[in-house]
Structure formats: C-alpha cells, structure tokens
C-alpha cells in the first residue's frame, strides 16, 4: 500500500505513511498518517459493493440514532467507497479511546459493556430501509458436508502446525457430535430486529472506564437481541461467571431482560454455533489467515454444555 494511492482517492492532504494493522479477521486494516492526523483505512476483501454499502447504511442509521461511531470520509469523486489496487476501500477517522484487552477485562468493564449494548439496542431502530440479512443456519447435512471439506483440506496440508492439529481434532470431534446427537432446529420465540451483529470487546473503544465508540458494522444482522447478548458473553467474557453476572446487571440496569428471553437467546445461539463453520472455512478453504487466532485447542465442547454450566 503506497501513500500516493490513498492521497489519490481521499482529500486528506499529504500522506506520510500507510502502515498495516494486524487483527483484521475479515478485511484488511491500515493506519494512514498525514500531516493533519491519523486515519483508519479499511480494505474490503469481498468485491461485493452491496455488502460494503450495507455497512455504510448501517453506520448512517446508527449515527442518526445517536450511536457514537466513526463515519467514512467522502472520496474525491463523491461517495464513501473508493478503490485501492482494484479493491474497495473506505477511510475513517480514528475512534476515540481504545479497546480494553480481553485479559484486562474486569467486572467493571464487563458491566460497562453490558450497559453500552443495552443503550445500543435502545437507540437503534428495530428495522432499517435497506436489506439486512436475517440470521440463519445451515442444515445438519450441509454442516457435515462443509466440515468434511475442511477435514480434507487439513489432511492435505504439507506441513501442519500446532494450530492446524487443533483444528483437525476439533473438526473431527464436531463431526462425531453432529452425526450422533445434534441439536434440533430452534425457532426463536422473540422477534428479530436490526442489530450490530459483531458486538464484542474488540469493537468497543473505551475512554477511561466508559465506552466511547463502536466500530465495524459489516456483520449487521436481523436477529433477536438476546442472541447478541449471549454472543458477547461467549466471545468477550468466555462465560466467566463474575464477568457475565456484571455484564447482565449492567444491561438490565438500562433495559429489561427476562430470564425467558435470555434463555431463548442462549438456545438460538447454541443452535447457530453448532452449525457455524465460518472460522475453519475462512482459514482452510478461503485462505484467509485472520481467523486462525480463534482456533483453540481441543476438545470441542458444544456451547449448550458450557451455557448450562453458567446458567
């Protein structure tokens, strides 16, 4: 990535440097340094303009609702999407503050994450005037087929490392589970609505102990709000009892959340996770190394088992 490529698309003055950032599991991320300050460059791996446009529509809806989130800068030719080296890209001002590292999350931070998510659910409109995908799962048969393809790709690796061995063991354990005792389909009892879709600690920026901004709207979905609550409890807090209790207390201080609705969200999340092959397909079928950091050691433990231990 060359500085002149960015300066050609966006009017941000002289670009001094463009530095790659790690951590992007879906798209490329770069820090752009100019005389006027720093910016965040997002380079979309997918060529689907409608998908990037949906993210920008979600950002606009969030800003209109009073959600603190950076808006993309206009390009020199108008609109928010530019092209860098043949790929779609957008340039954002930096969000204030910074995420809190997962290992540093305390009950106070967890409570703040819960309260901020409740504020998000309260502010966002339940529906938006553009198409947003509804959260759905593959059939058991299709999930098994996809996992078998991942297994074949893993077995074909010329020099597998430790993470690859973990992935193979977990894939085989998931296949055994799906063939023996899969969860039945679960239809949520609570309504689907417009959600951020990727709410977790890495996308929430704190100033001090208070959330100040939310980034990354590409995964916006129509789903029950309790699905998003349970997803954050799992991804960010690893279902830690103290952190999860603080998170739910923070949420409920801002919005009501019944035990029945939370249980329904947990059941829906468990059903979807059992059939979620995104991480393994991204790494071993699509060749995207970003999600490798999500692959942990075996054994594979179905979410509903871990959820039952918490609840």
- Domain limits, the chain: 3-93, 102-136+185-276
Secondary structure letter of residue 158 according to DSSP:
S
Beta bridge partners of 134: 222
**Can you read off the two tokens belonging to residue 210?**
């208070």
- The CB density around residue 7, as the number of other CB atoms within 10 Å, is 17
Res 23 pLDDT > 90: no
Instruction: Encode 83-94: b = buried (16+ Cβ within 10 Å), e = exposed.
Output: ebeeebbbbbeb
pLDDT tens, position by position, 156-186 = 999 999 999 999 999 999 999 999 999 999 9
CATH H-level superfamily of 3-93: Phosphorylase Kinase; domain 1 (3.30.200.20)
pLDDT confidence of residue 1: 72
Q: 0.85 cut: is pTM over it? A: yes
Q: How far apart are CA 148 and CA 142, in angstroms?
A: 10
Domain 102-136+185-276 has CATH 3.90.1150.10: no
Tokens 């207390």 appear where? 249
């Amino acid at each position: 990535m060359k500085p002149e490529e960015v300066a050609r698309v966006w009017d941000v003055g002289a670009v001094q440097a463009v530095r790659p950032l790690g951590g992007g599991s879906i798209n490329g991320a770069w820090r752009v340094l100019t005389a006027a300050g720093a910016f965040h460059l997002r380079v979309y791996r997918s060529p689907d303009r409608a998908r990037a446009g949906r993210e920008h529509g979600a950002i606009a809806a969030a800003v209109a609702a009073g959600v603190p989130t950076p808006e993309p800068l206009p390009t020199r030719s108008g609109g928010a999407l530019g092209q860098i080296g043949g790929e779609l890209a957008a340039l954002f001002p930096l969000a204030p503050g910074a995420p809190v590292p997962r290992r540093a999350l305390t009950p106070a931070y967890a409570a703040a994450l819960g309260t901020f998510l409740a504020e998000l659910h309260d502010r966002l409109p339940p529906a938006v005037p553009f198409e947003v995908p509804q959260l759905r799962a593959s059939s058991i048969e299709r999930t098994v087929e996809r996992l078998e393809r991942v297994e074949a790709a893993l077995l074909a690796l010329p020099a597998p490392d430790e993470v690859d061995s973990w992935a193979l063991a977990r894939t085989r354990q998931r296949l055994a589970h799906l063939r023996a005792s899969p969860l039945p389909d679960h239809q949520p009892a609570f309504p689907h609505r417009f959600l951020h879709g990727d709410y977790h600690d890495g996308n929430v920026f704190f100033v001090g102990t208070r959330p100040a901004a939310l980034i990354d709207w590409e995964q916006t979905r129509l789903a029950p709000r309790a699905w998003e609550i349970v997803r954050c409890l799992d991804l960010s807090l690893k279902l830690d009892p103290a952190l999860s209790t603080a998170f739910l207390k923070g949420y409920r201080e801002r919005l009501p959340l019944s035990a029945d609705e939370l249980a329904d969200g947990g059941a829906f999340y468990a059903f979807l996770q059992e059939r979620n092959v995104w991480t393994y397909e991204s790494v071993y079928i699509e060749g995207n190394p970003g999600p490798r950091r999500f692959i942990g050691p075996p054994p594979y433990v179905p979410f509903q088992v871990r959820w039952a231990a918490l609840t």
